């Protein structure tokens, strides 16, 4: 938790309720320790979807399909969501949830199974493009995904990157980070430095949830 817990709890208490089917899926994810977008991150994503009305949405990191289904609730009727996942155990649940009739907008969503880097390269080679990209996968790989995402992001499009502050530890000195987490710490700092210094992007980092970076590809 990177903001004071009571403040987050208060802000979340003002937020809209999830539809019951998404509420149940969120509960299931929490009970099974599946990391899904936090309530406060949901608020930012919902706001941006309603504001920007993107038609082509790409998500990297489906897990069990919660955020894809959440985005399907708030994106325009004629929008399409492509979501990528590679872990078999997650895919079993994602396939089941994304086919479940109780989610009214599930038909907007296409699940692409495989390693994100490989899938992103394939999407680039097919000359596909997206106006809203949600990056929520293995943090240490964000730097590798970035060139492909830049090829896929339309001018005027938005890239949202989740978990960028890593529970606040990203601000700590490299030497205070356990050896096990050093690579991820270094890579996340490199990613944040890159997206905040790229000429073509306008990026802000918000201390929301586990930290969220919003990048706009200037036209």
Residues that bind ligand SAM (CB under 6 A): 35-37, 61, 63, 66-67, 84-87, 90, 115-116, 136-138, 141
Least Cβ distance, residue 39 to ligand SAM (angstroms)? 11
Least Cβ distance, residue 219 to ligand SAM (angstroms)? 28
User: Is the Cβ–Cβ distance between 90 and 63 less than 8 Å?
Assistant: yes
Q: Which of 134, 192 has the CB closer to ligand SAM?
A: 134
d(CA 1, CA 111): 30
Residue length of the chain:
219
Instruction: Scan for tokens 């609730």, then name that residue.
Output: 73
Q: Which of 67, 82 has the CB closer to ligand SAM?
A: 67
Q: Which of 67, 161 has the CB closer to ligand SAM?
A: 67
Shortest-Cβ-distance residue relative to ligand SAM: 61
Q: Which of 34, 202 has the CB closer to ligand SAM?
A: 34
Least Cβ distance, residue 185 to ligand SAM (angstroms)? 17
The three-class DSSP label of residue 130 is: strand
Least Cβ distance, residue 89 to ligand SAM (angstroms)? 8
The three-class DSSP label of residue 189 is: helix
- Give the phi and the psi of residue 114 in degrees, each rounded to 5: 145, 175
The three-class DSSP label of residue 219 is: coil
d(CA 64, CA 83): 11
Least Cβ distance, residue 113 to ligand SAM (angstroms)? 9
Least Cβ distance, residue 100 to ligand SAM (angstroms)? 15
* Helix (H) or strand (E) segment spanning residue 183: helix 179-197
d(CA 43, CA 181): 29
User: Is the Cβ–Cβ distance between 68 and 99 less than 8 Å?
Assistant: no
d(CA 182, CA 176): 9
């Amino acid at each position: 938790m990177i903001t004071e817990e009571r403040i987050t709890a208060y802000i979340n208490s003002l937020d809209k309720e999830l539809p019951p089917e998404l509420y149940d899926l969120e509960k299931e994810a929490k009970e099974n320790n599946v990391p899904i977008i936090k309530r406060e991150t949901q608020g930012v994503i919902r706001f941006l979807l309603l504001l920007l009305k993107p038609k082509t949405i790409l998500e990297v990191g489906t897990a069990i399909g919660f955020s894809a289904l959440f985005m399907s609730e708030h994106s325009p009727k004629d929008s399409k969501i492509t979501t990528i996942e590679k872990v078999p155990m997650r895919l079993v649940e994602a396939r089941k949830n994304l086919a479940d009739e109780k989610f009214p907008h599930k038909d907007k969503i296409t699940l692409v199974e495989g390693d994100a880097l490989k899938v992103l390269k394939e999407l680039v080679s097919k000359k596909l493009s997206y106006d809203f990209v949600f990056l929520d996968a293995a943090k240490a790989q964000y730097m590798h995904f970035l060139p492909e995402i830049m090829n896929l992001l339309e001018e005027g499009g938005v890239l949202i990157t989740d978990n960028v502050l890593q529970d606040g530890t990203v601000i700590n000195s490299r030497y205070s980070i356990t050896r096990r987490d050093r690579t991820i710490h270094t890579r996340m700092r490199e990613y944040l430095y890159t997206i905040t210094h790229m000429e073509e992007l306008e990026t802000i980092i918000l201390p929301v949830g586990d930290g969220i970076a919003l990048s706009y590809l200037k036209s």
